[in-house]
Amino acid sequence: MDDNSSLMATGLSQVSFLQRTLERLSSTHILTLKTEEAPPVAVIALQRYLSEQTEGLPQLDSYSFDAIVTDGVWRAKCFVHPHLNHLVHANTLRTGTDISITQCSFVYNERRLGHGYICIENLRCGAGRSAVLSRINDVTSLPVLVKRGMERSVVLQSDVPLQLGRRHYLSLWNNDDPEGDIWIAGSPLSDIVLDVSRIALLCSLESSFPFSGKHLPLLVKIIHKSRLRYYGKFGLKIDYPYQAYFEVADQTGIMSLVLWNELCPEFYQRLTVGTVLYLQNYTLKQSYSNRSRPQMDHHRMKTFKSVEICLNPRNPASVITVVPPKSVLPQWGLPEVSYQFITRSELEKLPNNSACDVIGLVTFVGRVERVRSKGNKGPEKYWTYRWVHALDGTSHHPFILEIFSSSQPEIFNRICSMTYLVCTQMRVCQVEGSLPYLTSSCETETFITGYHKGQPYVSDPRVKSFIQWTKTLKDNIILQKTAVGGHYCYPHPPQTFTQSVADSSGQVPLVAAADLKRELETLQYREHKKLAIQGQITTVRYLRVLETIEPLGTEEVSDVATDVCESAVPDTHSHSSTAEWTPAERVTSPCAENILASRRKRRIQLRKATQSSNHGSMPAKRRAGHANTEEGREQEEKEEEEDSDSASEEAQNVEQILQLQNPSQVCFQPDILSWESSSWPQQRLEVSEHLCQGGLYQDSLSRRFTFDEKNILLQWSNLQPVRWSPEQTADPLPPVVCPGFYQVTILGINKQIAVDAAFFPVVSSDEPRAVGLPLDPHGNTMLSCLLSGFLCPLSDTANHSDMTLPEPEEILATASELQDTHVVCILDLCHLGGDKVEVLINKGPRAGLREHHGVAVERHRQTRVRPHGKTH
């Protein structure tokens, strides 16, 4: 620490909580400090890395976390005790919020001189945005707190983990994205002169393999690039366990190239499709057959699959020269990068699992969700993905895209409505009963507006045709078709649930009620699961009355010890829940607008029908004359005023529905609109557990996109960021108004456990969930709505549809057909952060289960293609 830093420490020690804490830990004989009156500190970074194994001690978690906190005077990098990791898993401990450290210790590294750190062992998490950060102009200007005598510790002041056995951080929510300062971005290249008189051709490499001598240099062009693969695991003594595949070509053909270990941070982001490489000191090895490959038939070149080129950081150290575009000569004969763009009108004709490239104008962007990787033998890992709709003008249907993270976080996190999106090497998924969709492969790359310049596809005729089409569009019209976030799941399940013993890879798992409880308890932040449960529906309630709770920001912080603040499912028979409500500006969702208009129209139609009945015996001339009399005109004016008052009152009622500034469950009065099975009162007494998780949240509802709210919409639909930025302190989005939803209680088939799930049917063709939904007409009974997932017919604002939607009272009047009916309900589970777990019925129960000797038999149906294929 220099003189200025020492002087600053002396002057600020009286006002800095972090400085005072470090001084007390340094002076005490016991290295643990407890306090109940700790002032808040703000979390400005939360970073993850593979845990170190400690011999003789159980491994609490696969990953460890470092947190950078500030009290407004100092910044300090602290280690989060593994007992608190569940708070990160639930996004309770997150960046941009305040915490109070109630117990901490100072840990010295016993194998390294001059290294130690503060370990946070217990804390209280504050609700809402940070009050500490609101008082800081520039958090990066704050000095870093270091214990006296440890000033030379690079770890404490640089972007590397506190655990010295690890050299780099991982992305917070997946293992595929580059994270940290070690990843070198592309930089301008200077002109170079190469000697290409003696180079090897790819065709000669395959014919000469195996060859133990030194190979001649290679001159190749990258034509495909895969996502990163992290293969770190316990006991692996490799500092940077990364791998990335590229497909490279010369005039003789195409071969795979593998970038290994620390060469990935140095070169991965600099090596793009179209880049020309001059390679020396590479090695060859037999290709790994059990991996995904891009489909490259459109290149019309020979593919050499038996061997692959390896670039290693040592033994030998490969030499990689990136050739500037201006230095590339035509006489080298390197092939042009080619693509296989398709239009939306051609998609139905493509075979399942075929590869294609697409370009479209984004109209819908779903929230980022996570799914646990199955069959992973190492530490647990998650894929991150989001759903996107994009139009290209050749069909009234959009492309439905399931986009997984492709190691391009700067693009993946910026996908928004009204941007031009390019996705390469997408795989076709043909689904029986639904529109086809496209999902990512290992070799998929995505590009959005702002990243197209210089990409090889800009000269493709299909791309140029799309750009010409966009010039005919008007922003204000397209904006009316946009949406962001909310619950979304595709493809839509069939109405009949079937089960196959022979092949279960493409079906929704049917779980026991006890397993469902365990799945709810173990969900992590934004993790999505789809499960099926069988039993019977015992109650249905329509919830649309909201109680007024304390405004956002008045919640008290809760003590978060090692055994609390878990995302556990409440074990109670009560149906009450809490919500945050403020009389702030409201945003009405498209479905709310349609329902309001439909109800007003239904009321006017009923009144006119009554009037027609009352005046049925009145001659036509007299009825016409009555409307022209002063008395008749006064009567009409009075009725119009009543309509206006009634509409205003109804709008006020709807404004009370789901006005949740902080995503929380809905408060309701279940006795207003409900149906209950006659056997439920007795069955309820015998139920051992009632999982009252099923509610609707602000994060469950999609919003209209606007350019003014672009940044805040991106923050809302993305995952919690690793680092806090000033943009996170922007005003929150106004709450969305939704007309209400149905809460359904499902009693397990053994009648021991019941679970609540929310059901909010599609009501408008404008909703993203309506795309690809089979719209077979039905009678709007409770069962038919659950089976179909929508109210019939859907309203259509674009075509000024005149249809009226049924009232909840009408639908619930038909719920008696659910009495003692055996159903299979497909549930979508998603952890929304904190203690909020979304449990939604996905298009309702599946009736008509065919059974044979008590075993469900499944008709063969389309198996869904997994997005990333096989990796090693």
378 shares a domain with 249: no
pLDDT band at 289 (very low <50, low <70, confident <90, very high): confident
Residue 819 lies in a domain: yes
For Cα atoms 61, 369, 701, give the angle at the middle one, nearest 5 degrees.
135
Tell me what pLDDT residue 844 has.
59
From CA 825, how far away is CA 434, in angstroms rounded? 19
Q: How confident is the model at residue 856 (pLDDT cuts 50, 70, 90)?
A: very low
Spatial CA neighbour of 170 closest among 78, 49, 45: 49
pLDDT on residue 598: 52
Q: pLDDT tens for residues 138-159? A: 999 999 999 887 877 777 778 8
The per-residue pLDDT for 92 is 96
Residue 531: which of 854, 89, 842 has the closest Cα? 842
Please report whether residue 510 resides in a domain: no
Residues 147 and 241 in one domain: no
Q: What is the model's pLDDT at position 31?
A: 81
User: Is residue 359 in a domain?
Assistant: yes
Task: Report the CATH number that the domain containing residue 89 is assigned in CATH.
Answer: 2.40.50.140
pLDDT per position as a tens digit, 749-784 = 999 999 999 999 999 999 999 999 988 899 999 999
Most confident segment among 218-227, 665-674, 821-830:
218-227
Confidence of residue 503 (pLDDT cuts 50, 70, 90): low
Query: Are 313 and 456 members of one domain?
Result: no
Structure tokens at 812: 């619930």
What's the average model confidence in pLDDT over 500-515? 76
Higher per-residue pLDDT: 566 or 285: 285
What pLDDT is recorded for position 799?
59
Higher pLDDT, 151 or 415: 415
Residue 857: pLDDT band by 50, 70, 90 thresholds?
Answer: very low
For residue 538, pLDDT over 50 is answered with yes
Tell me, what's the pLDDT at 5?
Answer: 42
Q: What six digits make up the tokens of 183?
A: 């990843």
Is 75 or 58 the better-scoring residue by pLDDT? 75
Q: Is the pLDDT of residue 296 over 70?
A: yes
Mean pLDDT along residues 580-586: 32
Overall number of domains in the chain? 4
* Model confidence band, residue 863 (pLDDT cutoffs 50, 70, 90): very low
Assess if residue 254 is contained within a domain. yes
Mean pLDDT along residues 330-350: 96
Least trusted range by pLDDT, from 239-248, 259-268, 428-437, 541-550: 541-550
Predicted local confidence at residue 627, as pLDDT: 40
CA count, 13 A, side-chain hemisphere, 121: 12
DSSP 275-300: -EEEEES-EEEEPPSSS-----GGG-
Higher pLDDT, 207 or 833: 833
Do 159 and 221 have their domain in common? no
Which two tokens mark 201? 């051709």
Of 43-47, 137-141, 191-195, 256-260, the range with the lowest mean pLDDT is 191-195
* DSSP E strands, 469-583: 483-484, 528-543, 558-560
CA pair distance 719, 383, nearest whole angstrom: 13
Q: Which is higher by pLDDT, 6 or 728?
A: 728
Q: What is the pLDDT of residue 505?
A: 61
**pLDDT at residue 535 greater than cutoff 90:** yes
Quick one: which H or E segment has residue 251? Answer: none
- 385 and 456 assigned to the same domain: yes
* Tens of pLDDT, residues 120-143: 999 999 988 899 999 998 999 999
Any idea how long the chain is?
872
Q: Do 682 and 794 have their domain in common?
A: yes
Residue 556 has what pLDDT? Answer: 38
Tokens 């690890």 belong to 166
Q: How far apart are CA 265 and CA 169, in angstroms?
A: 12
| Mean pLDDT value across residues 9-21 | 68
* 139 and 35 assigned to the same domain: yes
* Last-in-domain residue among 111, 146, 166: 166
Burial code (b: 16+ CB inside 10 Å, e: under 16) for 182-219 equals bbeeeeeeeeeebeeeebbbbeebbeeeeeeeebebbb
**What is the predicted pLDDT for the residue at 58?**
67
Q: What does the pLDDT look like over 31-62, one tens digit per residue?
A: 899 988 899 999 999 999 999 876 656 677 89
- The half-sphere exposure of 363 on its side-chain side, counting CA atoms within 13 A, is 26
> Side chain identity at 100, as an amino acid letter?
S
Domain range for 804 is 534-547+667-701+736-843
Q: How far apart are CA 696 and CA 837, in angstroms?
A: 9
For the chain, the distance separating the N- and C-terminal CA atoms, rounded to the nearest angstrom, is 47
Percent of the chain scoring above 90 in pLDDT:
60
Asked whether residue 864 carries a pLDDT value surpassing 70, the answer given is no
- Beta bridge partners, 254, equal 249, 303
Query: Does the residue 387 lie in any domain?
Result: yes
**What is the biggest distance separating any 2 CA atoms in the chain, rounded to whole angstroms?**
109
Q: Whole-model pTM?
A: 0.84
User: What confidence score (pLDDT) does residue 727 get?
Assistant: 81
Residues 162 and 225 in one domain: no
The H or E element spanning position 370 is strand 369-372
Q: 161 and 44 share a domain?
A: yes
pLDDT of 588-601, one tens digit each? Answer: 454 555 555 555 55
Q: Are residues 751 and 793 in the same domain?
A: yes
Residue 188 — pLDDT band, cuts 50, 70, 90? Answer: confident
What's the confidence (pLDDT) of residue 796?
A: 72
What distances in angstroms separate CA 580 from CA 332, 380, 546, 644, 759, one per listed residue? 66, 34, 10, 30, 21
d(CA 412, CA 403): 8
Task: Report yes or no on 182 lying in a domain.
Answer: no
Alpha-carbon distance of 780 to 762, in angstroms, equals: 12
Q: 178 pLDDT band (50/70/90 cuts)?
A: very high
The mean pLDDT value of the chain amounts to: 81
Across the strands, what pairs with 310? 258, 283
Per residue in 539-556, pLDDT (tens digit) is 999 987 443 223 333 333
User: What pLDDT does 802 receive?
Assistant: 55
Query: CA quadruple 168, 171, 172, 174: dihedral positive or negative?
Result: negative
What does the pLDDT average to over 250-261? 96
Using the predicted structure, report yes or no on whether residue 12 has a pLDDT greater than 50: no
Same-domain pairing of 322 and 354: no
CB 70 within 8 A of CB 143: no
Considering the domain boundaries, does residue 369 fall inside one?
Answer: yes
3 assigned to some structural domain: no
Q: Which range scores top for mean pLDDT: 182-186, 304-308, 361-365, 787-791?
A: 361-365
In this structure, the answer to whether residues 70 and 99 fall within a common structural domain is: yes
